[in-house]
Amino acid sequence: MRLLVVEDDPDLSRQLVAALSEAGYVVDAASDGEEGHFLGDTEPYDAVVLDLGLPVLDGVSVLEKWRRDGRTMPVLILTARDRWTDKVAGIDAGADDYVAKPFHMEEVLARLRALLRRASGHASSELSCGTLELDTRSAKVTVAGSAVKLTSLEYRLLAYLMHHQGKIVSRTELTEHLYDQDFDRDSNTVEVFIGRLRKKLGADFIQTKRGLGYRLADPGAP
């Protein structure tokens, strides 16, 4: 899953990027509203962490522009604790949730997990597909109760497929959500990771739809 952090405080931005990366997300960062708007308008993010008090272009304006342009990714806004009017303005502009500064990083992570679940139609933090289970809180993966050890890229790929279970996902889409904007992307590497996942999980969970992409489905379903 790929996230964007738009925050002008360099220390807080680094902390957010580090915590989100450690949690298994691919993270891009912008330090002002203009750059943040451009990235959010041109890159396919699964969610955005957006500060409202940004230079060049404020967060509410950024969010309003995204929503007018049809950008529907979930947005978690960061607000000053004593500025309730900012919270209202952010929600009215199209934000999905907010966190007041100062905050605990665990709260940001929990709220983002919830936004990502809801965006893909899941109510629980534990995603399942037949005997395959993924706990988004602990990043633990099991098959028939047995733990499966995955690399960070394998986990990202599986998590994206689990959040979009039953849908056909193209190689291009997977590549865009596996790597950050500066990575030299090659969609052929997706095939390598799909092969590794099949070896670790079992060959039948991930189906290849020739010419279209991949689909995660319960192999025991009719």
Which pLDDT value is given to residue 36? 97
Please give the structure tokens belonging to residue 101. Answer: 């500064």
112 & 139 share domain = no
Of 101, 119, 137, which closes a domain? 119
Q: Is 128 helix (H, G, I), strand (E, B) or coil?
A: strand
101 & 141 share domain = no
Q: Is residue 222 part of a domain?
A: no
Neighbouring-strand partners of residue 5: 29, 49
96 & 199 share domain = no
112 & 130 share domain = no
The domain that holds 204 is classified in CATH as 1.10.10.10
Of 89, 119, 149, which closes a domain? 119
27 & 95 share domain = yes
Which pLDDT value is given to residue 86? 85
CA angle (27 as vertex; 75, 167 as ends), nearest 5? 70
Q: Is residue 10 part of a domain?
A: yes
165 & 97 share domain = no
Q: Is residue 15 part of a domain?
A: yes
202 & 135 share domain = yes
147 & 57 share domain = no
163 & 112 share domain = no
Q: Is residue 80 part of a domain?
A: yes
Domain count, the chain: 2
131 & 110 share domain = no
Query: What is the Cα–Cα distance from 125 to 146, expressed in whole angstroms?
Result: 19
Please give the structure tokens belonging to residue 97. Answer: 């949730």
76 & 27 share domain = yes
Count of CB atoms situated within 10 Å of the CB of 171: 17
Of 61, 91, 119, which closes a domain? 119
- DSSP H or E run through 15: helix 10-22
Q: Is residue 188 part of a domain?
A: yes
Per-residue pLDDT in tens (0 to 9) along the chain, 222 residues: 899 999 999 999 999 999 999 998 999 999 999 999 999 999 999 999 999 999 999 999 999 999 999 999 999 999 886 778 888 999 999 999 999 999 999 999 999 999 998 888 877 788 999 999 999 888 899 999 999 999 988 998 999 999 999 899 998 888 888 877 666 556 578 888 999 999 999 989 999 998 899 999 988 876
Which pLDDT value is given to residue 137? 87
Cα dihedral 99, 59, 94, 40 sign:
negative
First to last CA, the chain: 29
Neighbouring-strand partners of residue 140: 135
167 & 81 share domain = no
The candidate with the shortest Cα–Cα distance to 77, out of 106, 50, 58, 39, is: 50
Q: Is residue 221 part of a domain?
A: no
pTM: 0.80
Which pLDDT value is given to residue 18? 97
Q: Is residue 69 part of a domain?
A: yes
The domain that holds 30 is classified in CATH as 3.40.50.2300
Query: What is the Cα–Cα distance from 52 to 57, expressed in whole angstroms?
Result: 9
Range of the domain at 202: 126-216
